[in-house]
Amino acid sequence: MADTQYNQVGNPTRSGGTPAPWLSLVMAVTVFIPTLHATPEVQSDSPRERLPFNRGWLFSRNDPPDAGDALVYERIKDWLLPCGDHLLNLSPRRHSPLGTGPGEMRVVGISYTLADYDDSRWRKLNLPHDWGIEGPFHPDLTGKTAKLPWFGVAWYRKHFALPAIDTGRHVYLDLDGAMAYATVWINGIFAGGWPYGYTSWRVDLTPYIKFGGENTLAIRLDNPRESSRWYPGGGIYRNVWLVKTAPVHIAQWGVRVTTPVITNDSAVVNVAVTIDNKTGNKSETNVITKIYQADHAGLPVGQAILQSSSVTARIEAGEQAWVSHSLVVPSPRLWSLETRNRYVAETDITRDSAIIDRVRTPFGIRAIQHTAGNGFLLNGKRVPIRGVCMHHDLGALGTAINFRAMERQLEILHEMGCNAIRTSHNPPAPELLELCDRMGFLVQAEAFDCWASGKVRDDYSRLFPDWHEKDLRSMVRRDRNHPCVIQWSIGNEIREQGSSGGRKLAAHLAGIVREDDRSRPVVAGFNLIQSGYNGMMTAADIVGYNYKPFEYSKIHRTHPQYPILGTETASTISSRGEYVFPVSENKLDGRNKSTYQVSSYDLYAPKWGSTPDTEWRAQDENPSVMGEFVWTGFDYLGEPTPYNSDTTNLLNFATAAESAQAAKELDGLAKVRAPSRSSYFGIVDLAGFPKDRYYLYQSRWRPGLPMAHILPHWNWPGREGQITPVHVYSSGDEAELFLNGNSLGRKKRGAFEYRFRWDDVVYSPGELKVAVWKNGKPWTETVRKTTGSAAKLLLTPDRAQLRADGADLVFVTVTVADKDGLPVPRAQNSIRFSVTGPAEIAAVDNGDATSFAPFQGSERAAYNGFALVISRTKPDKSGILVLRAESDGLEPAAIELSSK
């Protein structure tokens, strides 16, 4: 494939202006991001306000008796379908049916929607909120969705007042995500809703608001029990905002910034603005944009460096208009993984010299190219994609988004050398993309796990015919200005891969994406070999392979014009600190049938998966491959492969002979209803503690970091004199292992070898030491010792200074150590926690996939030497907080932290 670039209107051209059929991109970007940490966005010189709306909600599970089945989706579908129609190319737009809306009290309605319903006994809480994570775990629920009660119906209500001075303004409720089938009433009147739980959406409250009085919001959610393959959570689990604007204003996600031409001397910045006219009269306004440099948070710095000329917008009553202008930034400061430079486009809508609306849009200037022969290029430099797939839950916190929790995950991944995130298998929270902009991560934003053909009974296939275009456009328009976003994924392992209509459907979805953004390629994750040869992948710009490392060379040989990416790789499984002997080379082995754990020698995977070593060899043999997204960065709630809920699901990727052998080896284990509540795929466990595999990836992804990691631990009473293989993960190329000072041999890493192995080591307690060289020079060394018995607790916070905003968190690692401070690798001591001062315990965990102890509580057993306690600040209360940990027979520990 010839390298291609995109011209100023986003249409691909080759030199000479000939339309190009393929790929490679030179564009840049970013989007308007919600203010983080729930702080208000109010500008004194603009009537627009965007206020956090998370505090002071009331919550109740289940429908009232008078609801019956009146609010099931099929009965109210016609009322919901017009919601979001502004995203479609429809003329005329659809309207709700005539008459009384669903649940309204004007005739025979539902009590929970009524403004004066007595909700004084409802539970008081703040958003974001996930009711499922509160449990309890239930043994009869499936492990696929973590054995937690996330499904069913729940209601949220909120009472609020708007001042009379707001009369004449337009008022919106913006929800970043609500799980799922959300319906909204304001003052007893149905106002709208949205069924897909991962989409960000808006409800216009203006026609029903009481200005100068009290208003009541009621939101109903309904999660079908068989609607997800993993733990989706339940509730209004992302941030909510109240937006006030003038009747003529910039539309939601209405500013789009692109930079189609970038040189060392200048960058062309195109700003396209969509304006809403919510009045009954034709409107004429002027549009001006200024460009500022941005600080770390994406806010403008200093004086504007550029200002556009004024553009006049004439907007018919009740319609939208689109205007654009171009500016040239001199000596642009590029966004990259190392220098996360950004700018801000400040767009004003004026009439008679008065500002009637203003939106500030952070954006970055950077060039991306996806090539068939040279992988991925950022600003002209090849950058291997060293990515991980991430589900949206935050472990013990559930799906309720938290800025600090996401930031901590990215910090841990960054230290490993990860530089990319795939949002499997749904649009992410806006805050995740803001963090990736700030911290220097590439993002593949994914829309769907299925299309019209589903994977479980009530999954997205139920919604796909009516909602796929709106959901897809919502994702692209919201996120198309983030410099971190480099690819749009239209689907993951969708079942239409093998169908005759799959290619047309893929082309349809890709076409929707390209209508809204031609600055990035379209990709899909293909897991069926025949998908490469039935023409379906021609609908996408990049061939994304899931678990097909041996296809890289074949597809490159037969279709050399296709850029190739491992969209989902490895699926290696392990439990932190667990080791099974004898060490088997069969990837289906490594399971401990009595504890439901998986050995951490990193040699084991389900039928479809492989070791990291296998994937890396395929990439090294095919250097044109852009890189990979490993399944997964962190363990996540649900999908506890290999201990799924039944034999069929456990073995469904195996051949008949392999199934029989695996079933025999498992001794009927698979017939037990899922003995685990979270996955084993993560490079990092659910609590955020690195597994051994973390250091294997670090050794490859950070080749310049002097590092070495020895496994297993060296506490094996009763194994004296028995073979206990030792593996070393290191960025060096030569290593020598010593046991109690005696050399066990020096090894030089050969071609396609990614770990050092001493497979005949005989266990003797004491000290393992490895010395490592690189390019013939000493590189690093490390030791692992046999420890004493557990003697004390150690507390290590991830930081000492917190914000007193009611949302900030501190993650405290609890180590069970011997008298010398060494972690005791098999310690399982029960630990009690307490906190004094302006904070509370938010959650506890230990990373054990088989633990069904509640995440909410003040006690947790250590798992293989470690536990985690998460403390949350109290809103508007500053001071010193003290966290204490105690365990019978061990020296306790305490730390002081500050909340301001």
Give me 758's structure tokens. 């001493």
Would you say 878 and 804 are in contact if contact means Cβ atoms under 8 Å apart?
Answer: yes
What lies within 8 Å, CB to CB, of 744 at 6+ separation is 726, 736, 737, 738, 758, 761
Residue 615 falls in the annotated catalytic set: no
Q: Match 């284990």 to its residue by tokens.
A: 669
Task: Assess whether the previous peptide bond of 392 is cis (omega < 30° from 0).
Answer: no
DSSP string for 391-450: -S--GGGTTS--HHHHHHHHHHHHHHT--EEEETTS---HHHHHHHHHHT-EEEEE--S-
Query: Which residue type occupies 828?
Result: Q
SS (H, E, C) 465-525: HHHHHHHHHHHHHHHCCCCCEEEEEEEECCHHHHCCCHHHHHHHHHHHHHHHCCCCCEEEE
Give me 578's structure tokens. 């667990």
Query: Which residue type occupies 195?
Result: P
Would you say 143 and 137 are in contact if contact means Cβ atoms under 8 Å apart?
Answer: no
- DSSP, collapsed to helix, strand or coil, labels residue 370 as strand
- Partners of 774 in beta bridges: 777
State the pairing for strand pair 627-631/564-570: parallel
Query: Which residue type occupies 835?
Result: V
DSSP label at 806? S
Query: Which residue type occupies 896?
Result: E
| Angstrom distance (rounded) from CA 232 to CA 149 | 11
Query: Which residue type occupies 363?
Result: F
Within 13 A of 746's CA, how many CA atoms are on the CB side? 7
Give me 203's structure tokens. 């409800």
Q: How many CB atoms lie within 10 A of CB 41?
A: 17
| Angstrom distance (rounded) from CA 185 to CA 198 | 20
Q: Which of 346, 407, 434, 493 is catalytic?
A: 493
DSSP string for 34-68: PPGGG--EE-TTSS-EEEE--SSEEEEES--GGGT
Q: Which of 346, 431, 434, 568 is catalytic?
A: 568
Would you say 522 and 482 are in contact if contact means Cβ atoms under 8 Å apart?
Answer: no
Give me 814's structure tokens. 């609890």
State the pairing for strand pair 300-307/354-363: unpaired
890: left (phi over 0), alpha (psi -120 to 50) or beta: beta
Torsion of CA 639, 506, 467, 244, to 10 degrees: 100
Q: Show contacts of 67-71: CB within 8 Å, 24+ apart.
A: 67/103, 67/110, 67/112, 70/102, 70/103, 70/110, 71/102, 71/103, 71/110, 71/183, 71/220, 71/222
Pick the closest to residue 877 from 812, 802, 771 (CA basis).
802
Give me 166's structure tokens. 């707001």
Give me 287's structure tokens. 């549009």
- Partners of 222 in beta bridges: 153
- 105-138 CB burial, b ≥16 within 10 A, e <16: beeebbbbbbbebebeebeebebbbbbbbbbebe
Residue 469 falls in the annotated catalytic set: no
Torsion of CA 221, 227, 233, 238, to 10 degrees: -60
Q: How many CB atoms lie within 10 A of CB 673?
A: 15
Q: Which residues are catalytic?
A: 493, 568
